Amino acid sequence: MGHVVIDVMPKTEILDPQGQAIAGALPRLGIDQFADVRQGKRFVLAVDGDVTQEHLAQARAAAEKMLSNPVIEDVVSVRVLEADGR
């Protein structure tokens, strides 16, 4: 079974309250090396057999039409999940 991975991030110019909350909380745990945090989301779509170009095209359509809100988010990647999980 193959997998397609879609990563979606809030547009860089858009406020990301969740990321800000994390950025604010990290130093309280002593993790203080990070200047900023932005939080996105990942979708993993499974297909029977290997991932084909057609699967990727459909995944891109899904990413644009449903998995992201194009007004405030960018689809940053749509790619095949490698066997080693990368």
Partner 1 sequence: MSDDQATMTTVLDTVDVAQTSPDAEQPWQELGLKQDEYKRIREILERRPTSAELAMYSVMWSEHCSYKSSKVHLRRFGDLPQETPRGKQLAGIGENAGVIDIGQGWAVTFKIESHNHPSYIEPYQGAATGVGGIVRDIMAMGARPIAIMDPLRFGRIDHPDTARVLPGIVAGVGGYGNCLGLPNIGGELVFDECYQGNPLVNALCVGSLRHEDLHLANASGVGNKIVLFGAKTGGDGIGGVSVLASETFDADGPTKRPAVQVGDPFAEKVLIECCLDLYHAGVVEGIQDLGGAGLSCATSELASAGDGGMSIELDRVPLRDSSLRAEEILMSESQERMMAVVAPAQLDAFLEITEKWDVEATVLGEVTDGEHLVITWHGETIVDVPPRSVAHDGPVYQRPMERPAYLEELQADSTARLDRPASDEELRAQLLQVLGSPNVCDKSWVTDQYDRYVRGNTAQAMPADAGIVRVDEESGLGVALATDCNGRFAKLDPYAGAQLALAEAYRNVATTGAQPLAVSDCLNFGSPEDPGVMWQFSQSVDGLTDACRELGIPVTGGNVSFYNQTGDTAIHPTPVIAVLGVLDDVSRHASSGWQQTGEPVYLLGEARDELDGSQWSAVVHQHLGGTPPQVDLRAEKGLAEALREAVAGGAISSAHDVSDGGLGVALAESAMAHDIGAVINLPGAAFVDLFSESTGRVVVTVPDGEGSSLEAACVRYDVPFAKIGVTGGDSLVITDRFEVPIADLRETHQATLPLALDGR
Q: List contacts with partner 1 (CB under 8 A).
A: 10-17, 20-21, 24, 69-72
Strand partners, 46: 3
**Locate tokens 């899904």: which residue?**
62
- Is the separation of the CB atoms in 38 and 20 below 8 Å? no
Q: Smaller CB distance to partner 1: residue 11 or 60?
A: 11
User: What minimum distance in Å lies between the beta carbon of 18 and partner 1?
Assistant: 9
Three-class DSSP category at 26: helix
Min CB(23)–partner 1 separation in Å: 11
Work out how close the CB of 71 gets to partner 1 at its nearest, in angstroms, rounded to a whole number.
4
What is the greatest pairwise CA distance in the chain?
Answer: 47
